[in-house]
Structure 1
Amino acid sequence: MTRLLLLALFFFPAGSYAGDEKTVVFSGVQYPLEIAVSPGGPAGVPLYESAVSESVRTAYDTVIMQGEMPDPGVRPEIWVKSKSLFKAFDKYRPAGFKRFPNGRFWAKFDVAATRQPLKLVILDDGIAGAHLFKIYELEAVSGSSQKLEDSAEEQGPSPASAEDDAPFSIEEALPFTLVRREAWKAAPPKEPYARHAPKAFTLHHTAGYLPKTYAESVAEIQFVQDYHQNAKGWNDIGYHFLIDPLGNIFEGRPLYAVGAHVLNRNTDNIGVSVMGNYHPPASNKPAAETLGSFGKVGTYLSGNYSIAVSSFHAHREIGSTDCPGDLLYAKMPALKELIYARPVPAAAGPVAPEAAAAPAAAPSLRQLRECAIPGQFR
């Protein structure tokens, strides 16, 4: 018999989940949704059927989700409350879908333009056994506005200059080890980049899977890029840097290319994202290695491009979102002190490709003391 269990229930008043303005909100429920499913139920009966969502805040014609699907025999559907007198819901299967070997997946649904609330439904498409199905993100968006999130036109295109033929990538000589795009096998951008100059930087979290190893981090950044490019329709991965729990620093979108990480605030703004979900109920704990590496990136950006502390933000400070999560946001004062209370380190020599592709070595006690502020990263 099918067993249904929604584990991520938190009994808050309706509308209490802030989230992003695009997030589909179910009363009393927070993300990630964790749904335990098992085979053996009656044919045609959903494995899981959510309550009807709260009112969607803006008109939408696209629904996208991403999460973990351990068993490929699960099929998600979106049921939109119908305006017709003859049926309760308009039912939609994914128009786009991809599942990675590790179970990470995204799905995209093209729906008739509406502001109607919706349901999430999980169907048995041949599942092999009981497992936990997770959804980290479920958004209802306008396809055209989603595309604008990856645009330099928000603040006007940069004027043509002699730098138009200059490289977009960050310099070779850096004061930290950088896992370059080539090392994690990044896909190319869909279109030519728009150029900008770093004048600010913003702290994010990926609000997804928390990698445990270097190999898992590589798989996760590959997933994030694919999700951004093929589900959200962006030109490339939205962030310029991503940092994993081991302290590895990955090159995302090239530094001198306009990113896609803060709506209407992308131009001249560098996005630095920490892998994992640092908001309740997931509440991953920020690792000292991660914070130390963020400090190195922030120190480099602030010193090399004369970025003042007033231009270092958390995403929630300049956008309608919970990002970077309560636990990571609580580290902002310590990160500001770490970045702006120290001199900019001297640039190191070029990083060899094989070194860039290797996991970050475990820091020594002396290194941790240099990167951390006493009492802040505990």
Structure 2
Amino acid sequence: MNFSILYRVSFFSFLILFTFPLYSQLDDIGTTLDSEPRFTVRDSLEYLIYEGESPEFFQTVEGGAIDLVGQEIESVSFRLFDQSGAYKTIPGKIFNQPDLNKVVVTFLELIENVPARFSFKIVSEGNIEINSILIFPVDQEKPGRVRALEPTLGDISKPVIISREEWGAEDPKGSYSYHPYFDKLTLHHAACCSADDLEEGKTQVYWIQDFHQNGRGWNDIGYHFLVDRAGNIYQGRPETVIGAHVGGANTGNIGVCLLGCYHPPEASCFQTITPESRQSIVEIFSWVSDTYGQSPSVLLGHRDYFGTTACPGDNIWIELPRFKAEISDFIQSYFEMPLISIFQSPYPNPFSNQITLSFDLKKYMDFKINIFDLLGRQVNTIERTGAAPGRLFINWDGKNTDGKRLGSGVYFAKPVSSDKIDPIKVVLLKK
């Protein structure tokens, strides 16, 4: 059956042609074969039956997909045709995007006997829009190492990362292949999954992993890090292993995906980056650059490699020069940053029950602060073993080392590890 010609129009069967450009996360998993798919629709009273066919393709693939908009899809099946016309029927795997009315249906099958084509049959209770047809090329990468490269001794502290255990990651389906070198940094957008808080983020990152593993057939989630719109950073694959985010350029490439949709030419894809996301993108790429000896100047958007995608979207891609500058500035300012600095003045001051002292730490350390009275006598010491880099809050209840309340008056707090911070004056009042 040739789906490239017009069909007879009747009450039950008619030709539909939609034009919907592909800017979704599918850009990261496959190659668009047809962005203007033709298909027929039949009304079987209880269901609508959509049928169509891909163009011929001439390269070895390991599967394919159709990109839909709609709900209440009952089933999808694919027929894979070889040159003789013989076919094999495979059920489709249906993936409903977590925060949109979009659906991706995939099949996984190695097709080496080319040219080839496939048809699809969708049974749905409601109307759907078929946006595009994709194929999954076999990704040819340079062979990786059997063990991880040792990172350089970077000075920049790793930002807080939501671990795989915290977001409930599934185990990889097989062994990893490790980067033999590092020479690329890449920024993506998910074009979906616009999580605004941690719980949404965990759910959506898990969905992406499920889609990559079971819809695309990859070993694990394709990205090394993901950042939600609240600025939370999630560990994807370990950054020392080869990812699956830029087909043909994954070796030596550390990929970060920004949750959300940032390409205004596509409907409902008009978001702009939040300040929290921007800061986290700068911090994670700064840490990666310092730890693995990368220059921020090598940072690219996904579209900059082969020009087959809009990722990371116009609203992010235009920001890349600014990102590179901010990452470089962050690295430079980090080396100029004191080991310990005061974040804000003690509060409340004067106090009667408890006062909070806040500091910024440059790296992990055993933090200690001594409390002195007006005569210079040390009356208490507060310690935090293994304090993490970033914000540290220290509370003092106005008591000495024996747990006895001190008399009202002026006291001074002095971090032990810093000669650059003057003693901090605090005033204790009677209860």
Q: What TM-score, normalized by structure 1, do the two folds share?
A: 0.66
Partner of 1:108: 107
Is 1:22 equivalent to 2:31 in the alignment?
yes
For residue 47 of structure 1, report the CA deviation from its aligned partner. 4.0
In structure 1, the gaps of 5 or more residues are 13-17, 30-36, 352-378
For residue 301 of structure 1, report the CA deviation from its aligned partner. 1.7
Q: Which has the higher contact order (CA 8 A, sep 6+)?
A: 1
Is 1:261 equivalent to 2:256 in the alignment?
no
For residue 192 of structure 1, report the CA deviation from its aligned partner. 2.6
Q: 2:77 touches 2:92 (CA, 8 Å); kept in 1? A: no
Equivalent residue runs for 1:258-337 within 5 Å: 258-279=242-263, 280-282=265-267, 283-288=269-274, 289-322=276-309, 323-337=311-325
Q: Distance in 2 between matches of 1:258 and 1:61?
A: 19
In structure 2, the gaps of 5 or more residues are 1-10, 335-361, 365-386, 390-431
Deviations 1:79-114 (A, max 9, x none): 5678678xxx96844255566998976532548644
Q: Distance in 2 between matches of 1:206 and 1:11?
A: 16
Q: Which amino acid aligns with 2:174?
A: E
Secondary structure (helix, strand or coil) at the match of 1:24 reads strand
Q: 1:193 touches 1:257 (CA, 8 Å); kept in 2? A: yes
Q: 2:61 touches 2:135 (CA, 8 Å); kept in 1? A: yes
Equivalent residue runs for 1:65-84 within 5 Å: 65=66, 70-71=71-72, 73-78=73-78
Q: 2:229 touches 2:273 (CA, 8 Å); kept in 1? A: yes
For residue 350 of structure 1, report the CA deviation from its aligned partner. 4.2
Q: Percent identity?
A: 26
Secondary structure (helix, strand or coil) at the match of 1:183 reads helix
Partner of 2:187: 203
For residue 281 of structure 1, report the CA deviation from its aligned partner. 1.0
Q: 2:175 aligned to 192, 217, 221, which one?
A: 192
Q: Which amino acid aligns with 1:76?
A: V
Q: Which amino acid aligns with 1:188?
A: D
Deviations 1:300-344 (A, max 9, x none): 222333311332121222234312223321211121121123325
Aligned residue pair count: 313
Q: Distance in 2 between matches of 1:314 and 1:221?
A: 20
Equivalent residue runs for 1:113-262 within 5 Å: 113-116=113-116, 118=118, 120-124=120-124, 127=125, 130=126, 138-142=133-137, 145=138, 148=139, 154-158=141-145, 174-196=157-179, 198-262=182-246
Q: Distance in 1 between matches of 2:96 and 2:171?
A: 20
Secondary structure (helix, strand or coil) at the match of 1:310 reads helix
Query: Would the alpha carbon gap of residues 237 and 66 (structure 1) be closer, same or farther in structure 2, given more than 3 Å must change?
Result: farther
For residue 245 of structure 1, report the CA deviation from its aligned partner. 1.8
Find the structure with the greater CA-based Rg. 2
Partner of 2:328: 340
For residue 179 of structure 1, report the CA deviation from its aligned partner. 0.8
Q: Answer 1 or 2: which has greater helix percent.
A: 1
Q: Distance in 2 between matches of 1:269 and 1:53?
A: 32
Q: Distance in 2 between matches of 1:56 and 1:305?
A: 39
Which stretch shifts more, 207-216 or 299-308? Answer: 207-216
Q: 1:295 touches 1:339 (CA, 8 Å); kept in 2? A: yes
Q: Distance in 2 between matches of 1:68 and 1:9?
A: 12
Query: Would the alpha carbon gap of residues 305 and 183 (structure 1) be closer, same or farther in structure 2, given more than 3 Å must change?
Result: same
Q: What TM-score, normalized by structure 2, do the two folds share?
A: 0.59
Q: Distance in 1 between matches of 2:253 and 2:123?
A: 42
